[in-house]
Chains A and B, each alone.
Chain A
Amino acid sequence: MSAELFILGVMTAGVTLYAVLGGADFGGGVWEFNTALRAPAEERALIYRAIGPVWEANHVWLIFVIVGLWSGFPPAFAGLTQALWLPLFLALGGIVFRGASYAFRSQMAGHLRQETLWGGVFALASTAAPFFLGASAGAIASGLEVDTSGHFSGSYLTGWISPTSIFGAFFAVGVCAYLAAVYLTREAAMRKAETLTSRWRLRALVTGAWVGVMAAAGIVLVARDAPDVWEGFKERAWPLIIVSAVSGLMSLAASWRRRWTLAAVTAAGAVGAVVSGWALAQYPLLVPPNLTIDAAKASSTVLTTMAWSIVAGAVLLVPALVLLFSLFKGSGPLERADP
């Protein structure tokens, strides 16, 4: 396999993991809109406790993908940062204030005014980040006026707005909320909190069904508005749509039958299949309709060096990630985990 395909494979894995792990952290914040108003303290504590140990690590997937893009495919990075500057700045605002308000909020337990203020900022920012990242993803799928050397010739203000980008924005928020609900059901069950478990189970089922309907509508939209991606789905990425649909249905069934871990894994599978399917469908385009992998890729020395540093880094990274998740997300006993 060539170095650029290896790197793109790792980047696709990075985007996928960011969606299924980081997405759930955003989703917890999206639910804060709902829980902030009338939920008991323990329900909100569950959200903060679940996010606490892992959100910083989950967030790094995004940096990882960004660095991979500018290092391995510089014109694509230059083109995308020009074409998507507005949604990306807005997403950054969400990312900054989500992280900061989370840290502030979780240290301010007991200070009611501080909790309310930062809880509100947390909810708003957690929604804004996936909203604008989803819009950016949708804008890429429907195509941007970026030429083969990374020059953008479209409109800086409106060039990123398309039916798919608007859909992507709402779909991303929905997906985050869905993942959070499924994972939080499992965490509530592991803490033997009966009321919370049934409450989150209901939310998981409802948002799951809703996101499923959105996904189906999304297929129709992609067919009309994102021709390059649609061709790719028809040609080679269609099995992943089936994987996603089957996983999603399994997840709903598992939630219904109270098989929490299975529900979480299949929910992640349903979302992950969509994200990686999109990447596969878009191949060999990096930025439809013009910029291909071949046109954007860096020299082979750069790509080979990167590939080897990724392999070397993974030797340290993978065991550390396994340790983190087995400590805080495994099936072991869960006691108080506040810092």
Chain B
Amino acid sequence: MMAAAETGELLAARSQMAVTLGFHIVFACLGVGLPVLMLVAERRYLRTGDEVWREVARRWSLAFAVLFAVGAVSGTVLSFELGLLWPQFMGTFGSVISLPFTLEGFAFFLEGIFVGIYLYGWDRLSPRVHWWSGMPIALSGVASAWFVVTANAWMNQPRGFTMVDGRVVDANPLRAMLNPATWSQTMHMIVAAYMVTGFLVAMVYAGAALRGRDTAYVRRALALGLVMGAVFAPIQVFVGDWSARVVARTQPVKFAAMEGIAVTEPGAPLRFGPISIPHGAALLLHGDPDAVIPGLDAVPASERPPDAMVHVAFQVMVAVGFGLAFVALWSGWSWWRRRRLPDRRAYRWALIAAGPAAVVALEAGWVVTEVGRQPWIAQGVMRTTEAVTAAPAIRWIFLVVAAGYVALAASTVMVLRILARRPMREESRVG
């Protein structure tokens, strides 16, 4: 049905969605996680009167101003792109996923309002009121994440509507929002957001410590970021497992691609990299070594995702997830035994690697869920080829957009580095 040129346009549209979503998601995570860290730091200052904590909160709020702005505008791009790239999808199902997006609109609104109040209110509000003005940012950040991800969960498990002649009748927005994929997927994403924030923050200050800047400021900032990452990394192992089980139950083809199960047979092995554990997948999923797990061959070839990509992405995510949980346990063990973090170089390098690794796992997770759902844009209901725009020259738009995002990413990093080089107050500089 699709001509070759049109398939190229489809690939361009999908690539553009991938680049813009993959870019935004990092900022979205920081928008969820950083306010919590700022609030904890500011709270420590209010409790103890320790100026270093105030310095931590203030400097993070400057970085947050930049990150939130980039996150807000790149999120705007996505809301337009849903229509610009996938008009048939939105034209058909826009109303079904109306509820989470309407509520997300309000959450984002509150976030934007209180970001203005918090960032510009340091000298204008009393310290206590200022702290409280940050609270709605943290709450609406996590609420936004929940609402938006329910819409993505709906694409994996479309519910709450009936179709007549290609038009939706009888939509039930609440049922659509609370579909079978909603809870595991939203929790997986929110925990990921805190992990990514925590490990990215820890990365920055582990780098500073490694370069010999082992000041009071660096130690506190590092500890705060690390606590967030280390608390959520072990939790994510279990939430991720739950998520995979929900996928196995609700999207068996995606699950087969993730685990690399080609053929439906009893006792599927667990494949990880070059290793293959006989009966492993069957045992892990059903507690029965001879359980039958549907393979890719359960559906016709035209309904299978690009399985190699999904399999690799899944393994990368799982491997990084366990690696981060290991870093968390290493830190926790040292703290429990010696009341301080390890000061070995290897540990600091592990922390530096944990930041980008967490981002890699985040992106890999999105590859799993999005590529793993192909060829469907809404599982079993609408194919991506049916949804894509007929607008010409999408590939050129994609190249321009990709170049623009590269420039934006580079500029953001540059600006954050200039911000980080700003001189500190006296008490924060001492060792």
Contacts and interface: CB of A to CB of B under 8 A. Distances in A.
17 contacts: A52-B116, A60-B105, A63-B75, A71-B98, A72-B95, A72-B98, A74-B94, A81-B90, A96-B76, A102-B69, A107-B65, A157-B392, A301-B173, A309-B102, A313-B106, A317-B106, A324-B116
Interface in A88-136: 88-89, 92-93, 95-100, 102-104, 106-108, 111, 114
Contacts of A102: 69
Given A74-B90, A306-B102, A309-B99, A59 B418 contact: no
Given A95-B76, A111-B418, A309-B99, A53 B170 contact: no
A320 interface: yes
A302 interface: yes
B98 A298 contact: yes
A310 interface: yes
B172 interface: yes
Nearest to A58: B112
A217 to B, nearest CB: 30
A70 interface: yes
Contact of A60 (B109, B121, B136, B415): B109
Contact of B66 (A107, A157, A317, A328): A107
Given A81-B80, A313-B102, A56 B112 contact: yes
A56 B69 contact: yes
A57 B392 CA distance: 34
A64 interface: yes
A101 B385 CA distance: 36
B72 A59 contact: yes
Nearest to B389: A82
A152 to B, nearest CB: 8
Interface string B84-99: 1001101111111111
A306 B109 contact: no
Interface string B17-55: 000000000000000000000000000000000000000
Interface in B380-395: 389-392
A67 B101 contact: yes
Contacts of A99: 69-70, 72-73
Contact of B112 (A57, A106, A309, A328): A57
Contacts of A310: 102
A96 B83 contact: no
Interface stretch (B224-232, B253-261, B404-412): B404-412
A302 B168 CA distance: 11
Contacts of B248: none
A150 B93 CA distance: 13
A296 B379 CA distance: 25
Interface string A298-330: 110110011001100100110011011001100
A339 B396 CA distance: 39
Contacts of A59: 72-73, 76, 112
A71 B102 contact: yes
Nearest to A61: B109
Given A85-B391, A88-B84, A150-B91, A56 B77 contact: no
Contacts of A108: 415, 418
Contacts of B70: 99-100, 103
Interface residues of A, number: 72
Contact of A67 (B102, B112, B397, B412): B102
A102 B66 CA distance: 9
B73 A53 contact: no
A284 to B, nearest CB: 19
A85 B391 CA distance: 8
A77 B94 contact: yes
A78 interface: yes
B171 interface: yes
Given A96-B408, A320-B110, A336-B123, A74 B418 contact: no
A74 B387 CA distance: 13
Contacts of B73: 59, 95-96, 98-100
Contacts of B120: 52-53, 328, 337-339
A104 B66 contact: yes
User: Which of A78, A93, A98, A337 has the most chain B CB atoms inside 10 A of its CB?
Assistant: A78
B95 A71 contact: yes
Contacts of A57: 109, 112-113, 116
A89 B76 CA distance: 11
B405 to A, nearest CB: 9
A79 B411 CA distance: 35
Which residue, of A59, A80, A336, has the highest number of chain B Cβ atoms within 10 A?
Answer: A59
Interface in B96-128: 96-99, 101-106, 108-110, 112-117, 119-124
Contacts of B68: 56, 103
Contacts of A302: 95-96, 98, 171, 173
Contact of B94 (A78, A82, A95, A337): A78
B117 A96 contact: no
B214 to A, nearest CB: 26
Contact of B98 (A63, A86, A305): A305
B174 A313 contact: no
Nearest to A310: B102
A54 interface: yes
Most buried by A among B98, B404, B411: B98
The 8 tightest CB contacts between A and B, nearest first, are: A78-B91, A71-B98, A81-B83, A298-B95, A74-B94, A103-B69, A313-B106, A70-B94
B267 to A, nearest CB: 46
A71 B100 CA distance: 10
A56 B70 CA distance: 11
Given A81-B90, A99-B73, A320-B136, A337 B124 contact: yes
A259 B28 CA distance: 43
Nearest to B161: A299
Contacts of A232: none
Contacts of B308: none
Contact of A71 (B76, B94, B389, B392): B94
B411 A100 contact: yes
B69 A156 contact: no
Contacts of B170: 299, 301
Given A57-B113, A335-B124, 17 more contacts: A53-B119, A60-B105, A62-B76, A63-B76, A66-B80, A71-B94, A74-B93, A82-B83, A95-B76, A98-B73, A157-B392, A299-B170, A302-B98, A302-B171, A320-B113, A327-B117, A327-B121
Interface string B120-161: 111110000000000010000000000000000000000000
Most chain B CB inside 10 Å of its own CB: which residue of A62, A63, A64, A157: A63
